[in-house]
């Protein structure tokens, strides 16, 4: 890929898969949410990334909408009591948040890289 032409959708898709936005091969994270210092394949530095609170905000935004719809449908269409409803929704929200958070963080880093934000 040429250095002067970065494709946003491709970079964001690589980030969504936890891969380097530049080459799509190297690992973006060294652990669950810790961003690696650089790509181990192409050497792209990730120190310029500034995802900060954005991934957490978007994860909460999505999961609260899902929880709201679940609450409505479980109250209207199921025979679950309050405790079963609360436990079911809590399980879905916790599992969904843990699944979405690193993916959204990778997506945001890919977007920052593609738009050359923060020194990328």
Q: Report the predicted TM-score, pTM, of the whole model to 2 decimal places.
A: 0.89
Q: How far is CA 85 from the centre of its chain?
A: 27
51 and 105 in contact (C-beta within 8 Å)? yes
Q: What percent of the chain has pLDDT over 90?
A: 92
Minimal CA–CA distance to 55: which of 71, 69, 35, 39?
35
Dihedral sign for Cα 103, 104, 110, 113, please.
negative
Average pLDDT for 16-25: 96
pLDDT digits (tens, 9 = 90+) for 28-41: 999 999 999 999 99
Partners of residue 8 on adjacent β-strands: none
40 and 93 in contact (C-beta within 8 Å)? no
Say what the pLDDT of residue 4 is. 66
Query: What CA–CA distance (Å, rounded) separates 42 from 97?
Result: 30
């Amino acid at each position: 890929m040429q250095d002067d032409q970065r494709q946003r959708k491709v970079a964001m898709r690589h980030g969504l898969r936890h891969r380097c936005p530049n080459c799509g091969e190297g690992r973006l994270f060294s652990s669950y949410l810790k961003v690696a210092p650089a790509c181990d394949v192409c050497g792209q530095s990730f120190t310029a990334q500034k995802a900060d609170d954005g991934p957490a905000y978007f994860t909460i935004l999505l999961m609260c909408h899902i929880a709201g719809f679940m609450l409505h449908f479980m109250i209207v269409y199921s025979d679950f009591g309050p405790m079963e409803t609360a436990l079911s929704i809590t399980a879905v929200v916790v599992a969904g948040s843990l699944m979405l958070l690193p993916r959204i963080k990778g997506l945001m880093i890919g977007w920052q890289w593609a738009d050359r934000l923060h020194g990328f």
